Each structure stands twice: as C-alpha cells, then as structure tokens.
Structure 1
Amino acid sequence: MENHEGYFHEASFTDPEGNPRTSKVPVVQELARQGLNHLPKRFIRANNTQHPVEPSLPKTIPLINVAKLRAGSEPEGRAQELGKLASGAREWGLFLITEHGISWSDLQSVKDVVKGFFGLSFEDKKRSVGSYASIDNMGYGRNFVKSEDEPLDWIDRLTMKAAPVGGDEGLNVWPQNPPNFKEVIEKYVKQARNVMDELLEALAEAFSLERNAFLKYLNPENSEMNVRVNYYPPCPRPDLTLGLTPHTDGSVLTLLIQFEATGGLQILKDKQWLTLPWPSHTLLVNVGDLLEIMSNGRLKSPWHRVVTQMDVERFSVALFYNPPSRVEIEPEPKPNQEDDAMEEDGFEKVVVGDYLQHFYRVSPTDEKKAIIYAKAK
C-alpha cells in the first residue's frame, strides 16, 4: 500500500510570544486513501460531545420557493412565502431554497469540476493551484491553524475569490485542472449572486423594512464573493473528531450546495446539536454575522458545525457574500427606537474589514463570541 504520511499542507501562524511559526498539517484526503483504521492524534477532540446530539430536527426547516417571492407572483402565495421566509430565518437563521433559477446542469457542472480537482493526485493539485495563508487563506490547503496544539478538522479545502473582478489578480488560486474549473464556478457565482440579491430584498420586506435595507451595502461592482470548497473524506473515527469546528459565518449570506452525501451539517439549538435534513435537490442559505448586525438582531447567525462520516465522502461548496471591507454597515432601527440611541441588546455601526479581522482573530471559540464586538456599548 502506498504511504501518504509524507503529504502535508503548511499553515502559518503567530505564537503567543509574537513569533511567526509554520505547522505541517496532514492532508486528510491522503490519510483516507491510506485506509487508516485509527485517527491521528492531532485530529482527536477531548470534548466532542459537549452538547447532546439529536439525530434530526424535530420539525423541518422551511423550504422557500424563490420563484414565488419574485415580483409578479400570485399575491396570496407570495405573502405566504414571505411569512415562511421570515419565520424560518428568525427561528433557525437558515432555510432551504428551491426554484431558484440556477439550472440543474449548471449545478452538475460545479459537482463535476470539484470532483475532478479532488480526483487529482496531491502533487497535481499542488501544481494546479497555489496557497496563500496571508490573503484570506486562499488557494488549496487546510487553513485557520493557530497553534500546534489545537485539534485539527477532518477536511481538505479549496478557496478562491470570485468577486470583485481582479480581486485575485496576480494570485494562482484558481485550479488549472480541470481546465474549465474557473469558467464553471464563475458562471455559478454570477447566478448565485442574483439569487442572494433577491433573498436579501425579500428578507428585508418580510421584516417590514425597506427592500434595499440590506442590499444597499452590496454594490455589484465591488462587493465580494468568496468560494470555499470543502471536502470531507471518510473518517475512521467520526466520534473523535469533527469535519468543521463550531462557528458562525462572517458574511451577509452564505449559499451552500452539497453532493455525494448528506447528514454532515449540524446546528446548535436549545443546547442540542441537531442534524439538518437537507435534501440533495435543494440549496441551503444561512444568515451570517454581518446580516445579524445589519438587521439589528432580527436575524441571527446560527452556530453550526460539520460532523464526519465513516464510510462516505461529502463535498460542499459555500459562497460567502460580503460588502467591500472598507464599507461601514449600520443596524436597522427597531420599531419605537430613537434614531440616536441603540437598545441594550442592539448593535452599532461597524466597518466590515474591522469586524472580519476581529472575527478571524478570536475564532475558533466554544460559543458565539465574535459578534459581541459589534454590540452597542
């Protein structure tokens, strides 16, 4: 059997004394190919069962028909769909969507190029794309390592900046193989942006705000769209590790597709981890921290994680939609709230880039702490 122990990603971090350090992180795809029947020590978590786990949600999260939200739709049906959107987003911070206008063939093309890339040998993947730890952790490899002691996630990643145009200029972060990888993903991103714009307008309307209350921060010329491909290989001991550490998203909205397997995504609700029922023919949308701030807490970003599975592999593609880093976002006042005063539990203005720097500096944490940065003092 071929030995894959020599394959690793390099991750840079700063130690507590302020010294730059580099960590060699094992490539989980190669560990899985090796057919391990044990879990390497660096992936083992001592408190993996901090909260009890329920096998599935006691009730399903809402499935939103995007076509019914569009102008010109039948009024009664549209009003019902807006109601579903508001209740689902308020209760869960996420929802499923269907009839969104992105064709099945385009989604299949995304699946084909992603699987094509991860089907390459490790050497070919490294030759195909660069890796930049200091620039939004873009490129191919495991990221967000902060010490040699922290437990590692059972995941391989690929991250690109798809917008604005030129945002990745001079960086080799798009795979050259498959040759149509960038073309396929950029086509998907363009369509996905339209869907997220529609959803942001509908969310504002559903909460009785001006339709552009959220979208006004996302200029199509300079707003940002990061693409993160997550690959979760089969894991020999799913009970001892995680595919992705508990977190919220530092975005306005995140749009996800998954393929090959389901059952990996969990949300913390009422102090229990609940496995999301996520049918393969739907896309999933979740609220990010920036939208929680913009909505002044009407919408809340969900605390979520990914678990591993023993005998199956799972892929997901996440699109993170953000204003430019220099933009200042402002919470929408709540009813009966003075314009010049914030409620105790409300938020204050924050510059997107400042918030994201803070977000990544304090992450990961054991609970939702990063957003306290934007709370009204």
Structure 2
Amino acid sequence: METSTENNYFHEASYIDQAGQLRTTRVPVVQELARQGLKHLPERFVALQPEHDQNPALSSHHVSEPLPSINMTKLRGNDRAEELAKLLTGAKTWGMVVVEGHGVAESVLHGVRDVVKEFFGLSFDEKKASVGSYVSVDNMGYGRNFVKSEDQPLDWIDRVTVKAAPAGATEGLHVWPQRPANFRHAIEQYVAEARNIFNDILEALAEALSLERHVFLQNFNPHETVINLRVNYYPPCPRPDQALGLTPHTDASALTLLLQFEASGGLQVLKDMEWVTVPWPKDAMLVNVGDLLEIMSNGIFRSPWHRAVTQMDVERFSVALFYNPSPRTQIEPIGNCSLANDDVVEGYKKVVVGDYLQHFYRISPTVKKQAISFAKRVPRS
C-alpha cells in the first residue's frame, strides 16, 4: 500500500530482478512533488544519457511530418484500398498510425476524460482510499510502472492500471477506482468500443498483406483476450530537459490504442536515430504495433521504440489500452510472413504469450529492443 508522511508521499512498486526474484521498492508520488512547486528535479528523476547508438539524448529530437493517418469509416467500407495502403505504410515504416473516423461517440470520449481528471483531482489520501495498489509484477491499481530496479532513474508519471478484460480478471481486487462513482462504467464503455477498433485493424493488416483477414485475429479468443488499461498522468515538470515521462520502450502488446486529452506533443518515436515528436489531431487516436504483432508478422510490422517527454507548464493525461492474446496462446509468424529458409538470421519462432511477457518485464528498458530477441530464431550452424 502507498504510505504518506507530512509532505512525503510514496507508492510501492514491484519488479523482477535478474535472478527472477520479485522485489518491491518505494517511489515518490510525482503529482505530490509537483504540487509542492519544486524548482529543481529530485535526483531520482534525472534520466540517464545512454550511448547514442542505443538511445539518443533527451535533446535529440525534432517535430515530424504527420504520421500516416487512416479513416476507420473508409477502412470499414467496400472501397478501402487507399486506407489499406496507408495502414500498411504506417505499420511498416513507423509502427504507428493515426486513427480518425473511429466511430467512438463523443459522449464516450468525454466520459473517459471526465472521470480521469476527476480521479487525479482528488487528494492523495482520497485516491488511496478509492483504489488499491497491488505489489505484483502487474503493479495494478494506483501507482507506477516501468520500475525494474532499486536504483534506476524514475519516470515523471503517476498512473492507474487495470486489467479491463477478460471478464472477471479483477474480481476480488480493489483496482477500479470507487471515486468518481462512474469511473468503471465510463472506462468499460470505451473498452467495448476499442475492442472493435483493435479487431478491425488486425483484419485490415492481414488484408493489406494479401492474407486471409482472420489470420492475426484468430489468436484472440474473445472470451480470453486480455485488455490492459493504463491511465497516465504527467504533471508539470521543473526540468523537462532532464526528466522523461516514460522511459524509451516498446510495447509488449499486439496492438496499443492511445487516447490523449487536450494537450499533445508529449509522445516521441525513434526514427532514423532521431527522436521525432508525433502530435495528432484532437479526438483522433493512435494505434501502434507491439512486440507480439511484430513476432506474428515476422518483423514486417515493427514495434516502435518510443517515449514520453515532460513539459514545464503543461499537465498531460493519456489513456492506453494494450491488446493481447491469452497468456496461454502460442503465436508464430503467420501465412506468407513465415520464412521458408531456417538459416535466415532474421525471423521469429513460436513463443507462448505468457512466457514472452514474463521475459519482457525482466529486461532493462534502456537497451533498444533487447526484449524481443527472446523470440528470435536461432540460425542453423
């Protein structure tokens, strides 16, 4: 559970160490630090500056040309060849695509924004009383994520994490905020709509590769598919040049759907060894490829190395949904994504989703795309 003393607030977070042991550590509550009006950055939040060929420095970024954008209404229609081509380009070159015309009602989106802002508007003690925090590898409830060691630099973020599907996944756990009272209802309405977007994108990606539309989606049993929710809050930061909102990483999911609120400009993706800022229009969403889909496509679709940056005078909120097959599902390159030549160095092997996820959460995020090497094929000698 989180603990607090006067002007001193902490979350507990867990991680798996290199020996495979579950460890816990205390980390400061960023929102409470920001409320104190800090003029300097606490040392634990100063980001490392890794070698350039692995992870360019914080200052190495520029504003990009717009990401490829698709219109879901057109993609769902009969005349969709142009949208399929844009989707394929985005998944292969960026690993990301902006989604407009998604069909999610404004009332649903506004409902999500309202409950998220109301929750983070509560005092720390009110938030703590409203929702639990579970010290496990999932770090569900109110707390933090991406804590992988006792001494790592910390991200400038607070969050709420919930397993939103399958049904009953959080039964008996106090992980859904009780305040505001409609938090769970608002989020579950959105998750139901998002599931349709995920499924349609997976079918469209298969079609774009001239495969049967079901070949990716067949890995997602509707009664066992996992949808993880992460609500991110990035308070204003006294030194955006020194701190990150989220450490560079790929997503372990098959697909991720990201919804931002009013503020934009916090997401960056590594492209051609430069950090590129990727804003997108208000009320649009962003879909990005995760490691599991990179494996299923045998590297045709690339899980992008991305991060969130901080801003001095702006607070940001985002809602991320991560779409995964059941942990018991075995995945492999599908259809003509498979390689006939077993001697080829590049390419992926069969992996069990749960095994991959367990590996992913043990690996340091500071080395670019290290985790996915777990699923690489070993060439014949």
> When the two structures are superposed, what TM-score results if normalisation uses the length of structure 2?
0.92
* In structure 1, C-alpha distance between the alignment counterparts of 2:325 and 2:205, rounded to whole Å: 17
Q: Is the 2:15–2:137 contact (alpha carbons within 8 Å) kept by the matching residues of 1?
A: no
The equivalent position to 1:278 in structure 2, one of 273, 277, 280, is 280
* In structure 2, C-alpha distance between the alignment counterparts of 1:148 and 1:91, rounded to whole Å: 36
Counterpart of 2:312 in structure 1: which amino acid?
A: M
The equivalent position to 1:108 in structure 2, one of 107, 110, 118, is 110
Q: Is the 2:15–2:362 contact (alpha carbons within 8 Å) kept by the matching residues of 1?
A: no
Q: Is the 1:257–1:283 contact (alpha carbons within 8 Å) kept by the matching residues of 2?
A: yes
1:305 aligns with 2:311: no
* In structure 2, C-alpha distance between the alignment counterparts of 1:336 and 1:16, rounded to whole Å: 32
The equivalent position to 1:70 in structure 2, one of 76, 84, 96, is 76
Structure 2 CA distance for partners of 1:96 and 1:342, relative to 1, 3 Å: farther
* In structure 2, C-alpha distance between the alignment counterparts of 1:303 and 1:196, rounded to whole Å: 20
Secondary structure at the aligned position of 2:361 is classed as helix
Counterpart of 1:128 in structure 2: which amino acid?
A: S
Counterpart of 2:363 in structure 1: which amino acid?
A: V
Q: Percent identity?
A: 62
Structure 2 CA distance for partners of 1:233 and 1:268, relative to 1, 3 Å: same
* In structure 2, C-alpha distance between the alignment counterparts of 1:148 and 1:13, rounded to whole Å: 9
What is the deviation of 1:147?
2.6
What is the deviation of 1:280?
1.7
Structure 2 residue aligned with 1:222? 224
What is the deviation of 1:45?
1.9
Q: Is the 1:296–1:333 contact (alpha carbons within 8 Å) kept by the matching residues of 2?
A: no
Q: Is the 1:234–1:311 contact (alpha carbons within 8 Å) kept by the matching residues of 2?
A: yes
Structure 2 residue aligned with 1:320? 322
Structure 2 portions without partners, runs of 5+? 51-55
* In structure 1, C-alpha distance between the alignment counterparts of 2:174 and 2:226, rounded to whole Å: 18
Larger deviation, residues 358-367 vs 27-36: 358-367
Secondary structure at the aligned position of 1:12 is classed as strand
The equivalent position to 1:177 in structure 2, one of 179, 183, 186, is 179
Q: Is the 2:84–2:208 contact (alpha carbons within 8 Å) kept by the matching residues of 1?
A: yes
Counterpart of 1:224 in structure 2: which amino acid?
A: V
Structure 2 CA distance for partners of 1:346 and 1:7, relative to 1, 3 Å: same
1:363 aligns with 2:364: yes
* In structure 2, C-alpha distance between the alignment counterparts of 1:18 and 1:335, rounded to whole Å: 33
Counterpart of 2:142 in structure 1: which amino acid?
A: Y
Structure 2 residue aligned with 1:205? 207
After TM superposition, list the pairs within 5 Å mapping 1:1-377 onto structure 2: 5-13=7-15, 21-47=23-49, 50=57, 53-57=60-64, 59-71=65-77, 73=78, 75=79, 78-134=80-136, 136-334=138-336, 337-338=339-340, 341=342, 343-377=344-378
What is the deviation of 1:17?
7.2
Q: Is the 2:131–2:175 contact (alpha carbons within 8 Å) kept by the matching residues of 1?
A: yes
* In structure 1, C-alpha distance between the alignment counterparts of 2:231 and 2:83, rounded to whole Å: 30
* In structure 1, C-alpha distance between the alignment counterparts of 2:18 and 2:363, rounded to whole Å: 13
Structure 2 CA distance for partners of 1:303 and 1:18, relative to 1, 3 Å: closer
Counterpart of 1:357 in structure 2: which amino acid?
A: Q
Counterpart of 2:75 in structure 1: which amino acid?
A: L
Q: Is the 1:45–1:240 contact (alpha carbons within 8 Å) kept by the matching residues of 2?
A: yes
Structure 2 CA distance for partners of 1:173 and 1:249, relative to 1, 3 Å: same
Q: Is the 1:133–1:143 contact (alpha carbons within 8 Å) kept by the matching residues of 2?
A: no
* In structure 2, C-alpha distance between the alignment counterparts of 1:336 and 1:310, rounded to whole Å: 47
Secondary structure at the aligned position of 1:182 is classed as helix
* In structure 2, C-alpha distance between the alignment counterparts of 1:120 and 1:336, rounded to whole Å: 51
* In structure 1, C-alpha distance between the alignment counterparts of 2:327 and 2:20, rounded to whole Å: 25
* In structure 1, C-alpha distance between the alignment counterparts of 2:147 and 2:242, rounded to whole Å: 19
Counterpart of 1:162 in structure 2: which amino acid?
A: A
Structure 2 CA distance for partners of 1:18 and 1:368, relative to 1, 3 Å: closer
What is the deviation of 1:20?
6.1
Structure 2 CA distance for partners of 1:174 and 1:45, relative to 1, 3 Å: same
Structure 1 portions without partners, runs of 5+? none
What is the deviation of 1:169?
1.2
* In structure 2, C-alpha distance between the alignment counterparts of 1:288 and 1:167, rounded to whole Å: 22
Q: Is the 1:260–1:313 contact (alpha carbons within 8 Å) kept by the matching residues of 2?
A: no
Counterpart of 2:184 in structure 1: which amino acid?
A: K
Kindly tell me the number of residue pairs found equivalent between the two proteins: 369
What is the deviation of 1:55?
2.4
* In structure 1, C-alpha distance between the alignment counterparts of 2:346 and 2:96, rounded to whole Å: 21
* In structure 1, C-alpha distance between the alignment counterparts of 2:330 and 2:14, rounded to whole Å: 30
* In structure 1, C-alpha distance between the alignment counterparts of 2:19 and 2:352, rounded to whole Å: 28
Q: Deviations over 1:292-330 (max 9, x none)?
A: 000111101000000000000000000000000010011
What is the deviation of 1:247?
0.2
Secondary structure at the aligned position of 1:132 is classed as coil
* In structure 2, C-alpha distance between the alignment counterparts of 1:112 and 1:52, rounded to whole Å: 34
* In structure 2, C-alpha distance between the alignment counterparts of 1:88 and 1:18, rounded to whole Å: 36
* In structure 1, C-alpha distance between the alignment counterparts of 2:273 and 2:163, rounded to whole Å: 35
Structure 1 residue aligned with 2:53? none
Counterpart of 2:74 in structure 1: which amino acid?
A: K
What is the deviation of 1:336?
8.8
Q: Is the 1:233–1:314 contact (alpha carbons within 8 Å) kept by the matching residues of 2?
A: yes
Q: Is the 2:251–2:290 contact (alpha carbons within 8 Å) kept by the matching residues of 1?
A: yes
Secondary structure at the aligned position of 2:161 is classed as strand
